[in-house]
Amino acid sequence: MQDERTELLRTPVTFLKGVGPQRAELLNRIGLWRAYDLLFYFPRDYLDMSEKKDVMQLEENKLQTVCGVIDSWERKQTRRGDMIALNVDCGKRFVKALWFKMPFIIREFAQGRRVLITGKPKFDHPFWVVMHPQITYLSDSEDEAEVEPFLPVYPLTEGLRQHHMRKIVREMLPVYAPLLDEVFPADYLAKHKLLPVAEAVKEIHFPSDNASMLWAKRRFVYQELFILQLGLAVRRYQHRIQLKAVPLPVDKKIDARIRQRFPFDLTKSQEKVIKEITADLSQPIPMNRLLQGDVGSGKTVVAVYAMLTAVANGHQAVFMSPTEVLARQHLRTLTRMLEGSQVKIAPLFGGQRPAERSMVLQEIAVGKAQIIVGTQAIIYGEIPFQKLGLVIIDEQHKFGVLQRAVLKTGEKFDPHYLVMTATPIPRSITMTLFGDLDVSIMDGMPPGRQKVKTYIVEPDKKNDWWNYVARKVREERWQGYVVVPLIEDNDDTPEGELSNSLLSVFNQLSQNELSGLRLGMIHGRMSTEEKEKIMFDFRTGDIQILVATTVIEVGVDVPNANLMTIIGGERFGLSQLHQLRGRIGRGSNPGYCGIFASAETKDAEQRLKAFAATTDGFKLAEKDFEIRGAGDLFGTQQHGMPPLRVADLKQDREVLEEARQDAVEMIHNDPGLAEPQHAKLRKQMLNRYGTVLNLGDVG
Ligand code: ADP
Ligand code: MG
């Protein structure tokens, strides 16, 4: 039965009423091949014709629609530009429609043609005038009273007109919509207030009123997000049943021994997340957890706690960072914290000599090396772990479920995973792109954390800013960063303009604004030794001002650096700016951040304002999301997830929460979606996410 219906839904568009070969080609051009495609080709907007009036009932300045016959039109050059005036005979009065600078509007005018005019009219004796109205053409047989209250506005292509498309859809809807197969069980629809699919499709194309349009839309948004959340929930479930880990429990003795290593008491939020993490580690199922904490909230200590737990249980732990600068810093921190202990730390870096590297690998292979520190790039190679118990990925910037390649332990057990973010992520993103992870949130800061004041430095105040920086360095022995967006000048730097490149800024500052101070320079293309040397000189204070690219972006911790100048601020994203600023205010003095920017776009301006207004990373993440939306997060190669077609993570946050909860509940009750009433959901979920989420055969 459904097979037959499915077959009918596959009817090529050429066979639909009102579609000839020519129009079929236009439809094909926008991806519409079959009846089914058309049903799911949703309007991008609607034309509100819900207030149809007789011309004698029109009111001023309210959106209304009135019917009439085209009488005449003229085109005039006016002070406001090219003007088109269309006179429409609406019976007892004329309505004059006016357009400026839209000459193409004339294209479909024809004397005697019946039209609907939708807009906000003004009475200008003896006629009504409507500026820039919408015109809807009626065929001779169409009764204006029967025109739907909301007309769909479709994304179209050259040659295909709205009224063609409306006509085609209007004709095919009642024939094909009822053939659609409902994926949700009937009681599920009722319980979750979802419109049945046939009705929802009808209402989304030609809504009977505003409310039904919203309900129809909600059904599809819900469905899309629900299917995604089902996929993620199944992935979590499979992870739990298929993967085995060695439990790494913590007892009082281990706990006390670990804490002894920290030079300070843990903060409340550190305690909270350590509890969550140790609870996971003590299970025979691999931990798969995302730790979100603001910049400077003290995630490293949490990582060290987890690693020492692994070591105490006789297992190895790896600690991976995105950059070598950061990995080396971690190596120093760990070495300092573990001084005098038995724990053996092994570094794995890009620049190591072959002999050194093979010795380290040997130590890893025999289990002598217990904590392995390095960059992700290096560790994702073939490392022969002896007994890998825990993997920590620090300062993860890249989004995505699929980013987490699996490191094999060389045994039948999988390691526990902890991913730590570089900056907070908006909740809706966490729920989708990281939706298969458990999440820990660290929202407090270590005591004594200093405030950072941020200034947007106006062009005529730059000298004042540099004077201030120079004075602080001389008088208070502070240090600072100057961050630039580029290593080298590129061709699009306008001639005569001060460039934002590393070298020019460095030269300029050393010769002028900051002459007499000890400046250093660091960027990603330097060799490891060079970078190490520079960071060493900066830490010891030999370098007072470090001119840097974003290599210092994540994690770098030099407490005496309180000053930061960001040049070309408009070129950085909000979370990147937040990361950068997180480098200062780490010591006993407050931080001062000055940002130079030419805010040409509205986005850049909003970003800079938000940046100056708050230092709360969680707030900034939401703000960034508000400004940019999720557009470039979903549907990019970064994580390989198919794009969302109907839902918008920004607008549909509430539906997302609901869909997630419902999906978790469904998988809890029917983990393999094996119950017959879930068969269609299961099929849809596998079709869409089976491959990307690597779901294999559910069951
Ligand atoms: P992030 O979360 O950005 O990785 P870090 O782990 O680098 O932050 O910690 C930032 C700074 O705070 C470090 O200098 C660290 O030593 C310090 N710190 C961490 N936890 C505490 C604590 N409980 N009390 C005092 N200082 C702490
Ligand atoms: Mg860190």
pLDDT by residue (tens digit) across 79-124? 888 999 999 999 999 999 999 998 888 888 999 999 999 999 999 9
**Which atom of ligand 1 is nearest to 559's Cα?**
14
Residues 6+ apart with CB under 8 A from 620: 423, 424, 574, 575, 578, 610, 611, 614
* DSSP states along 438-467: EEEEE----TTPPPEEEEE--GGGHHHHHH
Please name the residue that has the structure tokens 């409306």.
166
Q: State the pLDDT at residue 445.
A: 86
**Which atom of ligand 1 is nearest to 582's Cα?**
3
Phi and psi dihedrals of 68, rounded to 5?
-165, -175
Residues 6+ apart with CB under 8 A from 239: 285, 286, 288, 436
CA distance 546 to 514: 12
**Which atom of ligand 1 is nearest to 264's Cα?**
24
Q: What is the mean pLDDT of the chain?
A: 89
Query: In 169-179, which positions are buried (b, 16+ CB within 10 angstroms) versus exposed (e)?
Result: bbebbeebbeb
Query: In 445-460, which positions are buried (b, 16+ CB within 10 angstroms) versus exposed (e)?
Result: bbeebbebebebbeee
Q: State the pLDDT at residue 491.
A: 57
373 CA distance to ligand 2 centroid (A)?
A: 14
Low-confidence ranges of the chain (pLDDT < 70): 1, 380, 397-411, 489-498, 553, 555, 599, 630-640, 697-699
Q: State the pLDDT at residue 412.
A: 73
Q: State the pLDDT at residue 449.
A: 78
554 CA distance to ligand 2 centroid (A)?
A: 7
CA distance 660 to 581: 34
Question: Is-contact 635 641, C-beta < 8 A?
Answer: yes
Q: What string of H, E and C letters represents the secondary structure of 604-645?
A: HHHHHHHHHHCCCHHHHHHHHHHHHCCCCCCCCCCCCCCCCC
Q: State the pLDDT at residue 402.
A: 46
Is residue 47 in contact with ligand 1, taking CB distance under 6 Å? no
Question: Is-contact 544 497, C-beta < 8 A?
Answer: no
Q: State the pLDDT at residue 521.
A: 94
Q: Which amino acid is at 618?
A: F
Q: Which amino acid is at 302?
A: V
Give the tens place of pLDDT for each residue, 148-186: 999 999 999 988 989 889 999 999 999 999 999 999 999
Instruction: Name beta bridge partners: 479.
Output: 561
The pTM is what? 0.79
Question: Is-contact 625 618, C-beta < 8 A?
Answer: no
CA distance 649 to 14: 36
Phi and psi dihedrals of 219, rounded to 5?
-60, -45
Q: State the pLDDT at residue 493.
A: 55
587 three-class SS: coil
Q: State the pLDDT at residue 558.
A: 86
Task: Give one word for 135, left, alpha or beta, with left for phi > 0 and alpha for psi -120 to 50.
Answer: beta
Chain CA centroid to CA 434, Å: 11
Among the bound ligands, the one closest to the CA of 582: 1
Residues 425-429: contacts with CB within 8 Å, 24+ apart? 425/292, 425/399, 425/621, 426/621, 426/622, 426/624, 426/625, 427/622, 427/653, 428/625, 428/630, 428/649, 428/650, 428/653, 428/656, 429/399, 429/625, 429/630, 429/633, 429/649
Q: State the pLDDT at residue 111.
A: 93
Please name the residue that has the structure tokens 């370098």.
543
237 CA distance to ligand 2 centroid (A)?
A: 30
287 three-class SS: coil
Chain CA centroid to CA 251, Å: 40
Q: What percent of the chain has pLDDT over 70?
A: 93
**Which atom of ligand 1 is nearest to 295's Cα?**
3
Please name the residue that has the structure tokens 């094999």.
408
**Which atom of ligand 1 is nearest to 302's Cα?**
6
**Which atom of ligand 1 is nearest to 294's Cα?**
2
Residues 6+ apart with CB under 8 A from 257: 308, 312
631 CA distance to ligand 2 centroid (A)?
A: 27
Sign, CA dihedral 292-528-333-611, equals negative
CA distance 30 to 151: 20
Ligand 1 atom 5: residue of nearest CA: 298
Q: Return the DSSP state at 135.
A: E
CA distance 392 to 408: 14
* DSSP states along 18-76: T--HHHHHHHHHTT--BHHHHHT---SEEEE---EE-GGG--TTS-EEEEEEEEEEEEE
- Cα angle 592, 596, 600 (rounded to 5 degrees) comes to 140
CA distance 352 to 192: 59
Ligand 1 atom 22: residue of nearest CA: 446
Mutate to test the pocket of ligand 1, among 557, 575, 615 (most ligand atoms within 8 A of CB): 557
Q: Which two tokens stand for residue 114?
A: 């019946």
392 CA distance to ligand 2 centroid (A)?
A: 12
Ligand 1 atom 18: residue of nearest CA: 298
Is residue 557 in contact with ligand 1, taking CB distance under 6 Å? yes
Q: Which two tokens stand for residue 206?
A: 């030609």
